[in-house]
Structure 1
Amino acid sequence: MPATPEVEVRRSSRRRRTVSAYREQDKTVVLVPAKFTPEQEERWVQHMVRRLAKREQRRSPSEPELYQRAAELARRYLDGAVRPHSVRWVDNQRTRWGSCTPADGTIRVSRRLVGMPSWVLDYVLVHELAHLLVPGHGADFWELVQRYPRTERARGYLEGVAAAPRLHSSWGTRLDAAGTATDTTHASANGHDPPGDR
């Protein structure tokens, strides 16, 4: 079971009524109004961490669901010409979104994709499924991948996610891009209590 992420609270005098939370690499960042009392901050942090975890859980299919999703994508976009032997999440891919072994039909998907939009995960699955048919990144490979209609959009999304840490370090400014890659959630702080806790 993964460790509970570190939580960093950032107070803002410009923030009046909203609370936001997102993942930034291995931590959760919660943005709160500067005028919150410590008690209000604690209640909202707990609420937003739970809310973010629930959303991520909805966006994190189990491995059997991941396999079924890949099989359906292969049927829909690759004419059913390939069926993976297995599809699983992995934690050791820090520079790649997915990988496969054509010899045994296995596909591995980076857990960094958890929480990203479903169409981004679908693109990575189609990419790896195409590699089960065609090694390398030649024209025949891209012809298969381009059958997935959101290929260019997903590639742009992933390029932005990959570039965000470099932009952060080169600009010396915190960017939300890394956080929005996994998920961002907002709530209004009317009355300064989390919904359901009033």
Structure 2
Amino acid sequence: MVDETEATVEVRRSRRRKSTVSAHRDGTTTVVSIPARFSRAQEREWVQRMLQRLADKERRRRPSDAELLARAQRLAERYLGGRVSPSSVRWSGNQGRRWGSCTLIDGSIRISTRVRGMPGWVLDYVVLHELTHLIHAGHGPEFWAELESYPRTDRARGFLEGVAYGRDLAGEPPDDD
């Protein structure tokens, strides 16, 4: 998440823009596009509104460890019938090339910080994948059959394969932060 005290805001006025306002991050700069006809007061109002929307969106895409655990519990209930309950679920910066890992002995799950910011359905798949290991240790047919209840399994796996392929092409080393 970008700290607004250190970030800059660039307002772009457009004559073609009639009523819509949009915003996006470009590094540490937040770009807010508004109609040219907006007054300075409307500009200030919309800049604040869009900064809040971006911050809310980023917070949802980067949940805390406690939010990650709550998410895992909801996923376990919905897709695994509540048969598992992890002891902990937390972010981990030392997953190397793994998206997540599960320790069967104590039921703890670690999710790679590389997953932070990815679409929620991808995060859900990674968490659910690790939760399923609490039922089936390996990646046998029973394991994959269990994951079939999550409707975006194939899509999420494709997304993660694409990310990994892109990083391999770019020659990026595994994350060990």
Range class of TM-score, shorter chain: 0.5 to 0.7
| Equivalent residue for 1:79, pick from 43, 59, 81 | 81
Q: Report how far residue 133 of structure 1 moved.
A: 1.0
Q: What are the ranges of 5 or more consecutive residues in structure 1 without an aligned counterpart?
A: 5-20, 31-47, 171-198
The answer as to whether partners of 1:130 and 1:141 remain within 8 angstroms in 2 is yes
CA distance in 2, matches of 1:118, 1:87: 16
The answer as to whether partners of 1:55 and 1:115 remain within 8 angstroms in 2 is no
Change (3 A) 1:54 1:68: closer
Residue of structure 1 in register with 2:101 after alignment: 99
Q: What are the ranges of 5 or more consecutive residues in structure 2 without an aligned counterpart?
A: 4-22, 32-49, 172-177
CA distance in 1, matches of 2:135, 2:80: 10
**Which digits, 9 at most, give the CA deviation of each residue in 1:8-44, with x for residues without a partner?**
xxxxxxxxxxxxx999xx999x9xxxxxxxxxxxxxx
Q: Report how far residue 52 of structure 1 moved.
A: 6.3
Change (3 A) 1:100 1:167: closer
Residue of structure 2 in register with 1:68 after alignment: 70
Residue of structure 2 in register with 1:144 after alignment: 146
| Equivalent residue for 2:111, pick from 91, 109, 112 | 109
The answer as to whether partners of 1:59 and 1:114 remain within 8 angstroms in 2 is yes
Residue of structure 2 in register with 1:43 after alignment: none
CA distance in 2, matches of 1:100, 1:151: 18
Q: What pairs up with 1:10-49 in 2 under 5 angstroms?
A: none
Q: How many corresponding residue pairs?
A: 163
Q: Report how far residue 106 of structure 1 moved.
A: 0.2
The answer as to whether partners of 1:102 and 1:133 remain within 8 angstroms in 2 is no
CA distance in 1, matches of 2:53, 2:92: 24
Q: Report how far residue 58 of structure 1 moved.
A: 2.7
CA distance in 2, matches of 1:150, 1:50: 29
Change (3 A) 1:80 1:166: closer
Letter in 2 for 1:114: R
Change (3 A) 1:82 1:57: same
Residue of structure 1 in register with 2:156 after alignment: 154
Q: Aligned residues: percent identity?
A: 57
CA distance in 2, matches of 1:135, 1:92: 21
Change (3 A) 1:146 1:22: farther
**Which digits, 9 at most, give the CA deviation of each residue in 1:55-81, with x for residues without a partner?**
432311111111111011111111111
Structure with the bigger RCO (C-alpha within 8 Å, sep 6+) is: 1
Q: Report how far residue 165 of structure 1 moved.
A: 3.0
Aligned-residue CA RMSD (Å): 4.2
